[in-house]
């Protein structure tokens, strides 16, 4: 009989404002609100999140302190999303010190997103295909603009559409837990590595068309293979950036 103690640790009470910060930060990191967008008002956030306005104020103050939003008070005021400010050289040094984290983030994406796309190929509906096809067209346009004018704004716009496309695939899988896992996997990848992409890479939109075609043709194995190749292509791009 084992005499080792169970792996239990003290439980910390989580304040409501921390949960609000986490949910709002997740939405920002996934591009569901873009730089320049106005967030819902304090009252609207209170109703949407089912928390007090005091809790919303505390959460907003934290996000403002982190430079993720600006707060303008008074009539006509509100909360505006800000583009995060990074020092690319420092970010690259930090990522080089955390190579294990990068590896784990991409491994996580491969596992959950190949699973999601398999189910999407089996379960997709006509409305899913329409939405994904529309997103793909927007991504094509955003890439053309971003390659012609390599600004941080256009890069962020493409990344927003890219996240929407991948989350749309997860939604087509019709599994809420898997949708949450895909959102979390993408968040864990972009939190450490997204900052180094100050401009679009030529391969940013590769594989999306073939992934969607496999979903349309109800070919789960091909869809999964194309998704894995796409994620690993991004992995290799990140690794090449870190070597510069």
- Counting every residue, how long is the chain? 244
Q: How many domains, the chain?
A: 2
Amino acid 165: pLDDT: 94
Q: What is the dihedral of CA 231, 232, 236, 239, to 10 degrees?
A: 80
Expressed in percent and rounded to 5, the helix, strand and coil fractions of the chain are: 70, 5, 30
**Same domain? 61 vs 135:** no
Q: What is the mean pLDDT of the chain?
A: 86
What local confidence, expressed as pLDDT, does residue 84 receive?
65
Would you say residue 156 has pLDDT above 60? Answer: yes
pLDDT of residue 198: 60
> Looking at 81, 97, 130, which one is the last position of a domain?
81
What is the pTM (predicted TM-score) of this model? 0.78
3-state secondary structure of 78: strand
Q: What is the pLDDT of residues 179-203, one digit of tens each?
A: 999 988 988 777 666 555 566 777 8
What is d(CA 66, CA 220) in angstroms, rounded to the nearest whole number?
A: 41
pLDDT digits (tens, 9 = 90+) for 60-98: 999 999 888 999 887 777 899 887 666 666 666 777 777
pLDDT reported for residue 199: 67
Here the CATH number for the domain that contains residue 45 is 1.10.10.10
- 140 and 200 together in one domain: yes
Is residue 63 one of the residues assigned to a domain? Answer: yes
What angle (nearest 5°) sits at the alpha carbon of residue 38, between those of residues 34 and 40?
A: 115
Would residue 1 count as lying in a domain?
A: no
- My answer on whether 133 and 188 are in the same domain is yes
For 66, the domain range is 16-81
Could you write out the DSSP letters of every residue in 103-164? HHHHHHHHHHHHHHHHHHHHH--HHHHHHHHHHHHHHHHHHHHHHHS--HHHHHHHHHHHHH
| Backbone dihedral region for residue 54 (phi beyond 0: left; psi -120 to 50: alpha; all else: beta) | alpha
């Amino acid at each position: 009989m084992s005499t080792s103690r169970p792996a239990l640790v003290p439980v910390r009470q989580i304040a409501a404002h921390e949960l609000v910060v986490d949910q709002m930060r997740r939405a920002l990191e996934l591009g569901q609100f873009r730089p320049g967008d106005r967030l819902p008002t304090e009252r609207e956030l209170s109703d949407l999140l089912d928390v007090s306005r005091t809790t919303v104020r505390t959460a907003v103050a934290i996000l403002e302190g982190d430079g993720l939003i600006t707060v303008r008070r008074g009539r006509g005021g509100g909360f505006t999303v800000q583009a995060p400010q990074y020092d690319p050289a420092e970010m690259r040094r930090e990522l080089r010190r955390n190579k294990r984290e990068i590896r784990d983030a991409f491994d996580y994406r491969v596992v959950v997103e190949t699973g999601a796309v398999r189910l999407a190929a089996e379960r997709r509906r006509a409305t899913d295909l329409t939405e994904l096809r529309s997103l793909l067209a927007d991504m094509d346009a955003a890439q053309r603009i971003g390659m012609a004018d390599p600004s941080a704004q256009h890069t962020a716009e493409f990344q927003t559409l890219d996240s929407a496309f991948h989350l749309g695939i997860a939604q087509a899988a019709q599994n809420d837990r898997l949708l949450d896992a895909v959102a979390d996997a993408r968040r864990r990848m972009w939190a450490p590595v997204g900052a180094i992409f100050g401009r679009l890479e030529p391969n940013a939109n590769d594989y999306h068309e073939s992934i969607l075609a496999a979903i349309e043709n109800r070919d789960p194995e091909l869809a999964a293979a194309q998704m894995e190749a796409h994620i690993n292509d991004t992995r290799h791009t990140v690794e090449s950036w870190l070597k510069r």
